[in-house]
């Protein structure tokens, strides 16, 4: 599995202590229509030196063996552009390790844009406790608290939903 980064114990992106997995790919959709890049992860997007590879089995074991974390959060760039790796991780967590902890996916896609996405639909239909934060960053919006995530989201159009 390719990553741009990993935080074993994160207390910022979800209401539960989480492993935060930073996915490596994005098409830059949040920057489209703006003169300058607006994405908070723009520097990460262009940093090829931060790309690392880790065995998915080892990553799941690392999560399982940590008594502090109780959720996994995928974010950083666009998790659905690393869809097969995402699906593989969730399969290993659920089916192989019998772990039903929350899996949270921060996406810039809207719910409508993912409606026919194979990975999204597989996560929705085949697994439990999958939460998705939908919506792109839009500058100059009022932050709001999201009850599902237990954190503030920066744009009005962003929200989280339990999809399974």
User: Any idea which of 10-19, 34-43, 86-95, 140-149 has the lowest mean pLDDT?
Assistant: 34-43
Q: What's the mean pLDDT in 5-29?
A: 93
pLDDT of residue 49: 74
pLDDT of residue 29: 77
pLDDT of residue 62: 98
Q: What's the mean pLDDT in 87-107?
A: 98
User: Any idea which of 23-27, 97-101, 104-108 has the lowest mean pLDDT?
Assistant: 23-27
Q: What is the pTM of this model?
A: 0.93
Mean of all residue pLDDT scores within the chain: 93
C-alpha to C-alpha distance for 76 and 133, rounded to whole angstroms = 12
pLDDT of residue 22: 95
Q: What's the mean pLDDT in 53-58?
A: 97
pLDDT of residue 88: 98
pLDDT of residue 45: 65
pLDDT category of residue 36 using cuts at 50, 70 and 90: confident
Q: What's the mean pLDDT in 116-141?
A: 96
Query: What are the residue boundaries of the structural domains of the chain, listed by start?
Result: 2-162
C-alpha to C-alpha distance for 89 and 68, rounded to whole angstroms = 19
**83-91 vs 56-64: helix axis angle to the nearest 10?**
50
C-alpha to C-alpha distance for 63 and 39, rounded to whole angstroms = 28
């Amino acid at each position: 599995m390719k990553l741009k980064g990993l935080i074993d114990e994160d207390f910022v992106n979800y209401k539960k202590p989480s492993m935060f997995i930073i996915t490596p790919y994005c098409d830059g959709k949040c920057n489209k229509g703006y003169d300058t890049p607006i994405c908070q992860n723009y520097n990460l997007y262009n940093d090829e030196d931060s790309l690392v590879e880790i065995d998915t089995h080892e990553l799941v074991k690392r999560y399982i063996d940590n008594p502090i974390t109780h959720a996994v959060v995928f974010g950083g760039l666009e998790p659905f552009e690393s869809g097969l790796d995402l699906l593989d991780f969730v399969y290993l967590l659920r089916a192989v390790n019998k772990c039903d902890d929350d899996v949270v996916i921060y996406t810039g896609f809207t719910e409508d844009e993912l409606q026919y996405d194979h990975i999204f639909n597989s996560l929705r239909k085949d697994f439990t406790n999958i939460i998705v934060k939908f919506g792109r960053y839009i500058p100059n919006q009022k932050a709001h608290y999201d009850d599902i995530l237990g954190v503030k989201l920066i744009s009005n159009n962003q929200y989280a939903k339990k999809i399974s």
